[in-house]
C-alpha cells in the first residue's frame, strides 16, 4: 500500500519551492510530512543520505521521540507535502493501523541503509 492513498484529496497539503529548507538538523520538530509530489534531499552531518520521493515520509522521528531533528531536509524540486502534527499522528496510528506500519517500514529501511553504508 502507498501511504499517499491515505491522503488522497487532502486540503492540508503544503507546497514548497525547490531549494526551500523544510527543517534543519539539530532543531526541535513538531511535524512530520508525507511526500505527495516532488523530491527532497535529506542530509545529516553535511552529507546527503537520501532523496525522499513521493510516498515517503520525513521528520517522523520528531513525533516518536522528543530529541532534536537528526537531518536537514531541503526541497530538491517543487514539492507537495502533508504536514502531520502529534495529535493527527496519534489519530492516524489509532484509526488506521496501516499508517503506523508504513511509518515503521520507512524507519526500518533507513536504518538498514545506514548500517549497510557503514560496512
The confidence score (pLDDT) of residue 29 equals 92
pTM: 0.90
C-alpha 38/C-alpha 53 separation (Å) is 6
Q: Is the pLDDT of residue 106 over 80?
A: yes
The pLDDT score that the predictor gives to residue 69 is 93
pLDDT at res. 30: 93
The architecture of the domain spanning 3-118 is Sandwich (2.60)
Query: What residue ranges do the domains of the chain occupy?
Result: 3-118
> Is pLDDT of 119 > 70?
no
114 pLDDT more than 80: no
3-state SS track over the chain: CCHHHHHCCCCCCEEECCCCEEECCCCCCCEEEEEEECCEEEEECCEEEEEECCCCEECCHHHHCCCCCCCEEEECCCEEEEEEEHHHHHHHHHHCHHHHHHHHHHHHHHHHHHHHHHC
The tens digit of pLDDT for each residue in 18-72 reads 999 999 999 999 999 999 999 999 998 999 989 999 999 999 988 888 789 999 9
Amino acid at each position: 500500500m502507498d501511504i499517499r492513498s491515505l491522503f488522497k484529496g487532502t486540503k492540508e497539503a503544503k507546497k514548497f519551492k525547490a531549494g526551500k529548507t523544510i527543517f534543519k538538523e539539530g532543531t526541535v520538530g513538531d511535524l512530520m510530512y508525507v511526500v505527495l509530489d516532488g523530491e527532497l534531499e535529506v542530509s545529516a552531518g553535511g552529507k546527503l543520505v537520501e532523496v525522499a520521493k513521493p510516498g515517503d515520509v520525513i521528520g517522523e522521528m520528531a513525533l516518536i521521540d522528543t530529541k532534536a531533528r537528526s537531518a536537514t531536509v531541503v526541497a530538491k524540486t517543487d514539492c507537495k507535502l502533508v504536514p502531520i502534527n502529534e495529535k493527527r499522528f496519534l489519530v492516524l496510528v489509532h484509526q488506521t493501523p496501516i499508517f503506523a506500519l508504513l511509518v515503521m517500514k520507512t524507519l526500518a529501511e533507513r536504518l538498514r541503509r545506514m548500517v549497510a553504508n557503514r560496512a
